[in-house]
Amino acid sequence: MRAPGTQKTEQRRQGGHPTVRHAVEVLMLEERTRWAMQIHDGLTQSVTSAVLELQTLRHRIETDPAGAVEALEEIERQIRDDLRRIRELLFDMTNEDPPAAEPALAALVRDLGVRWHFPVMVEVGGDLEGIDEPVLEAVYAIVSEALANAAKHSGAPEAHVRVTATAAEIRVEIEDRGRGIVAVKDEDPHFGVPIMRARAEKLGGSLDVGSTPGRGTTVVAVLPFQRAGG
């Protein structure tokens, strides 16, 4: 026969009163079910749709290159939105609030570094609120191309990205301390310079690439903009 209080002590040791423990288990199951539904109903279907669209582009690239590029841009926006939702879901699951001090653009740039397994230091200065979406998309595309080049060709241990917004323009600088390149020619598509410069000039901006063999490469883009409502 157990001494008085022994059963209660045993219950506490095993996780508390059975009724309380059951209630906690039910709540945890409800939370897991809610997360599973969010992933299935939203993210899973969205990612599946993106994969199917990418598969159709294999043939469309040959027959309709311009249309294929437009479709790729739309898929990119869709995947970026999925990434934002994944981040929100993770914060929700861990009961943490998103870091308010880190702008969304900085988070996207860090995600690029993760994709390329390439450490990226990010600095964002100035007010990015109200900047036209095409300008921000161009900034992201230029940073993406420059970081891809650095990750694949520079041999640098990391890269630095600095984005600074003033009253009328946004300046983007991507720098690595890698092996550098001997020459940068617009007609050479190997490093994506024509694509980056075309994006900048389409918005009335400019893009310059400086590189010294053995000392690294720096890409600088300056894009003018007008704030929404300004």
- Clarify whether residues 24 and 118 are in a common domain: no
CATH number at residue 124: 3.30.565.10
Range ranked top by mean pLDDT from 9-23, 33-47, 60-74, 93-107:
60-74
- Clarify whether residues 155 and 195 are in a common domain: yes
- Clarify whether residues 80 and 130 are in a common domain: no
Stretch 156-172: mean pLDDT: 93
Report which of residues 220 and 59 the model is more confident about: 220
User: How far is the C-alpha of 57 from the C-alpha of 65, rounded, in Å?
Assistant: 9
- Clarify whether residues 72 and 134 are in a common domain: no
Q: Say yes or no to pLDDT of 94 above 60.
A: no
**What domain range is 184 assigned to?**
109-224
- Clarify whether residues 53 and 149 are in a common domain: no
Of the ranges 37-51, 130-144, 182-196, which one carries the lowest mean pLDDT score? 182-196
CATH number at residue 84: 1.20.5
- Clarify whether residues 217 and 121 are in a common domain: yes
Stretch 95-120: mean pLDDT: 70
pLDDT at 93: 59
Q: Is residue 47 part of a domain?
A: yes
Q: Is residue 2 part of a domain?
A: no
Q: Is residue 1 part of a domain?
A: no
* pLDDT confidence bin for 208, thresholds 50/70/90: very high
Residues composing the chain: 230
Of the three residues 64, 93, 122, the one that is the final residue of a domain is 93
Q: Is residue 3 part of a domain?
A: no
- Clarify whether residues 61 and 120 are in a common domain: no
Mean pLDDT of the chain: 75
pLDDT at 99: 46
Of the three residues 66, 93, 120, the one that is the final residue of a domain is 93
- Clarify whether residues 76 and 47 are in a common domain: yes
Q: Is residue 100 part of a domain?
A: no
Q: Is residue 101 part of a domain?
A: no
Number of structural domains in the chain: 2
pLDDT at 161: 95
Q: Say yes or no to pLDDT of 96 above 80.
A: no
- Clarify whether residues 198 and 114 are in a common domain: yes
Q: Is residue 230 part of a domain?
A: no
Q: Is residue 98 part of a domain?
A: no
**Predicted confidence (pLDDT) per residue in 26-81, tens digit:** 556 666 666 666 665 566 667 777 777 777 777 778 788 888 888 888 887 777 77
